[in-house]
Amino acid sequence: MEIRAHDWTPGPSIEWRTAMEEYIGLDVSMKETAVSIRRAGERIWRGKCASDPSVIAALIRKRAPAVKRVVFETGPLSVWFYHSLRTEGLPAICVDARHDKAALDMAANKTDANDADGLAQLAEVGFFREVRVKGFNSMLTRTLVAARTRLVRITTELSNQIRGVMKTFGLLVPAGKGSTFENVRNLLADQDGLASIVLPMLEAWRGIRIRAAELGRQLVRDARESQACRILMSIPGIGAITATSFATAIEEPDNFRKSRSVGAWIGLTTRRYQSGEVDYDGHISRRGDRHLRGLLYEAAAVILTRSSTDSALRTWGRHLRERIGFKRAAVAVARKLAVISIRCLRPASCSIRMPELPHKLG
């Protein structure tokens, strides 16, 4: 049976300390944050305030001067809240929302106040899973990667839209991109009505493509200035985007006690279901960073299909491909790439001779 704070009688010194400690749960939303404060197994105050870390810090200093834990769930504002509350000197803890969902669902009514109460109780008994919150520098770099990726996808969607519209009127755009795609203007020479519709989309495609190229050059420049990214880019199949995404997601290799754990953290290990006599492995878990998982899979596919550099990893992957098929082999190679990458980031694990850095983005 789980022991709770009010289910046992501590010694005199521990009893005084426990009675004075407060535990706070925050249910954060965009405008308001529900706050619940508990002490010695009882709620002593709850209310709402603006979703501003400085306002919340002032409230906590007033209502709970002996605060032990300030718990809130993962969400869009969790990075800002965590670092801001830590700067204010508060013991902020960001917890996994999926882990707390089952406990919070026990409340009869789903309200922000009840969620804050539930988080405060979890903070008091210590039943939570703390999440490692990334630093602002890592989030800034990841935002750069996400912005470039979004612009590239928008250009692809626009080009496909233009091709589809012109096919309707019997105008076939030749395969290719860049200057080849600019030939759309020539096809619209005698199509005044259609040109008034397609040319604005073409101008938007051209402008977004220029901005995506600028972000790509900035990404390569930053990657070449980062020692961790330079090490990762020396691995076959890994370019600036994959190296930057991996380095910013991992941040510190010591965050993983075992290198092979990184595969499960990214979601590249199979899920297992075992109950009674039933025991089987399913698909990969797909947990963690979806974008990084896709980049590692793409790098593995390059190693298996396009790489001209012979390596033990490529040989192993090609043999595995013959036995279990391309997709499963690519997942296995991606998982190996993640393990190799984190091992290369450990200073005492291996030393890699730095070759001339390629200007590649993949």
Inter-CA distances, 79 with 74, 247, 357, Å: 8, 18, 33
**336 & 245 share domain:** yes
pLDDT at 13: 40
pLDDT at 349: 47
- pLDDT band of 18, cuts 50, 70, 90: low
**239 & 292 share domain:** yes
Name the domain boundary from 125, 149, 175: 125
- pLDDT band of 351, cuts 50, 70, 90: very low
**247 & 212 share domain:** no
Q: Assess if residue 103 is contained within a domain.
A: yes
Q: At what angle do helices 326-344 and 240-250 cross, to 10 degrees?
A: 60
**116 & 204 share domain:** no
Please say if the pLDDT value at position 142 is more than 50: yes
Rounded Cα distance, 129 and 166, in Å: 54
**299 & 316 share domain:** yes
Write out the two tokens for 246: 């991996």
CATH number of the domain that 79 lies in? 3.30.420.40
Q: Assess if residue 2 is contained within a domain.
A: no
Name the domain boundary from 225, 250, 275: 225
Burial of 248 (0-12, 13-18, 19+ CB in 10 A): buried
**Count of structural domains within the chain:** 3
**233 & 340 share domain:** yes
**178 & 109 share domain:** no
Q: Assess if residue 102 is contained within a domain.
A: yes
- What are 34's strand-pairing partners? 27, 48
**239 & 335 share domain:** yes
Query: Region 313-323: what's the mean pLDDT?
Result: 93
**168 & 106 share domain:** no
Query: Region 347-355: what's the mean pLDDT?
Result: 45
- pLDDT band of 14, cuts 50, 70, 90: very low
For the stretch 242-255, pLDDT in tens is: 999 999 999 888 88
Q: Assess if residue 184 is contained within a domain.
A: yes
Inter-CA distances, 193 with 17, 132, 197, 205, Å: 80, 56, 7, 19
pLDDT at 173: 84
Q: Assess if residue 322 is contained within a domain.
A: yes
Name the domain boundary from 225, 252, 272: 225
Please say if the pLDDT value at position 304 is more than 50: yes
**46 & 114 share domain:** yes
**200 & 303 share domain:** no
Q: Assess if residue 246 is contained within a domain.
A: yes
For 257, the domain range is 227-344
Strands 67-73 and 22-28 turn out to be parallel
**Helix (H) / strand (E) containing 302:** helix 290-305
Q: Assess if residue 57 is contained within a domain.
A: yes
- pLDDT band of 158, cuts 50, 70, 90: very high
- pTM for this entry: 0.80
Q: Which of 187 and 142 is assigned the larger pLDDT?
A: 142
Task: Provide the percentage of residues in the chain whose pLDDT is more than 70.
Answer: 90
Rounded Cα distance, 42 and 135, in Å: 34
176: left (phi over 0), alpha (psi -120 to 50) or beta: left
**155 & 264 share domain:** no
Q: Assess if residue 3 is contained within a domain.
A: no
Q: Which of 176 and 259 is assigned the larger pLDDT?
A: 259
